[in-house]
């Protein structure tokens, strides 16, 4: 039987990003990809990301957070999911600041600048082709040679690429709604240039302080919001001198404030986190697991 059977969970929402938070700090039992996929099934609690809190591995941290996509794969970062985790912990403990460990590194988080907003320090972006990673060398990752469509008239081309703990490719367009992201997203996510697959974002620069995006999320598909995608887009736009280092990002599910802090190059993401309901996983959901 799955270790998730009868386990309590919180269903939450990060500006449209469907999040399930599970606290397993009292258990050393591992999760399997079958566990993760079954939770996301129609009979379970469908989600974009599953945020699982494990016992802290490092002194001074609240938890080691593992992040799963609904296809069973594991992600290194999820900004919207982290805000949901932060709200959950803060409401339970009364804290207003805490540090969490993820596969992408340590994330320092705090409440503010308003009581209904939460800020996550997403760390520093990476631009080296081996760090993103890419399958071949590109000296300038502000734009790489990649396109969809005819060579002389490509539909999408020359994305910026960056890692925010997970790989992102940002295509600059005039209208983010003018493209069939459900069609192009999986083709680009699984392009051979991305050995670990990639998150694919369409981005339109409204002005130097405002960017609109839509994202096909690696392992989850089209999503109403992708926090790390918003961070990657803000950084990529600033690298191209097309936007300021502090911008508003509009996503289908809402808005995020992103600042690429100049003094240390850390990326700060600020937004809401909405609680929906609590429950416990029905053991029958995992009956197929031997």
Q: Which of 104, 185, 194, 182 is nearest to 144 (CA)?
A: 194
pTM here? 0.93
- Which pLDDT belongs to residue 289? 72
- Which pLDDT belongs to residue 290? 58
Contacts of 91 (CB under 8 A, 6+ apart): none
Q: How many CB atoms lie within 10 A of CB 268?
A: 19
Q: How many CB atoms lie within 10 A of CB 190?
A: 11
Contact 29, 264 (CB under 8 A): no
Active site residue 226: yes
Bridge partners, residue 98, by sequence: 109
* Interhelix angle 79-93/227-239, nearest 10 degrees: 120
Query: Can the peptide bond before residue 133 be classed as cis, meaning omega within 30 degrees of 0?
Result: yes
Contacts of 221 (CB under 8 A, 6+ apart): 182, 185, 186
Taking CA atoms, 96 is separated from 20, 93, 230, 284, in Å, by: 21, 9, 24, 38
Contact 198, 190 (CB under 8 A): no
- Which pLDDT belongs to residue 287? 86
Query: Can the peptide bond before residue 189 be classed as cis, meaning omega within 30 degrees of 0?
Result: no
Q: Which of 249, 251, 250, 273 is nearest to 259 (CA)?
A: 249
246-251 and 210-217: which strand pairing?
parallel
**Residue of 78, 84, 109, 231 marked catalytic:** 78
**Residue of 84, 109, 226, 231 marked catalytic:** 226
Going from the first residue of the chain to its last (290 residues), give the mean pLDDT of each consecutive group of 10, the final group possibly shorter.
Answer: 91 95 93 92 93 97 96 90 97 96 94 96 97 97 94 94 97 97 96 97 98 95 94 98 98 97 98 97 85
d(CA 70, CA 41): 8
- Which pLDDT belongs to residue 68? 95
Active site residue 231: no
- Which pLDDT belongs to residue 267? 98
* SS3 call for 139: coil
Q: Is 139 exposed, middle or buried (0-12, 13-18, 19+ CB in 10 A)?
A: exposed
């Amino acid at each position: 039987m799955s270790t998730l059977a009868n386990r309590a969970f919180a269903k939450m929402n990060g500006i449209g990003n469907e999040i399930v938070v599970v606290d397993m700090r009292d258990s050393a039992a591992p999760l399997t990809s079958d566990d993760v996929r079954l939770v996301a099934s129609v009979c379970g609690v469908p989600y974009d990301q599953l945020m699982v809190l494990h016992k802290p591995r490092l002194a001074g941290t609240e938890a080691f957070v593992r992040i799963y996509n609904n296809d069973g794969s594991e992600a290194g970062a999820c900004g919207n999911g982290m805000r949901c985790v932060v709200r959950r912990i803060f409401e339970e403990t009364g804290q207003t600041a805490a540090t969490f460990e993820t596969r992408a590194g340590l994330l320092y988080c705090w409440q503010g600048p308003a009581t209904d907003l939460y800020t996550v320090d997403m760390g520093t972006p990476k631009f080296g082709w081996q760090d993103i990673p890419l399958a071949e060398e590109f000296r300038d990752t502000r734009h790489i040679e990649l396109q969809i469509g005819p060579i002389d008239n490509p539909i999408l081309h020359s994305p910026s690429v960056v890692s925010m703990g997970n790989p992102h490719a940002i295509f600059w367009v005039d209208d983010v709604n003018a493209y069939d992201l459900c069609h192009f997203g999986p083709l680009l996510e699984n392009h051979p240039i991305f050995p670990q697959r990639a998150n694919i974002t369409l981005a339109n620069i409204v002005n130097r302080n405002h960017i609109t995006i839509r994202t096909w999320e690696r392992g989850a598909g089209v999503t109403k919001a992708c926090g790390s995608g918003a961070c990657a887009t803000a950084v990529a736009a600033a690298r191209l001198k097309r936007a300021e280092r502090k911008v508003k990002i509009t996503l289908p599910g809402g808005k995020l404030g992103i600042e690429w802090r100049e003094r240390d190059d850390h990326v700060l993401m600020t937004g809401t986190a909405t609680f929906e309901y609590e429950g416990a996983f029905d053991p029958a959901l995992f009956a197929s697991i031997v």
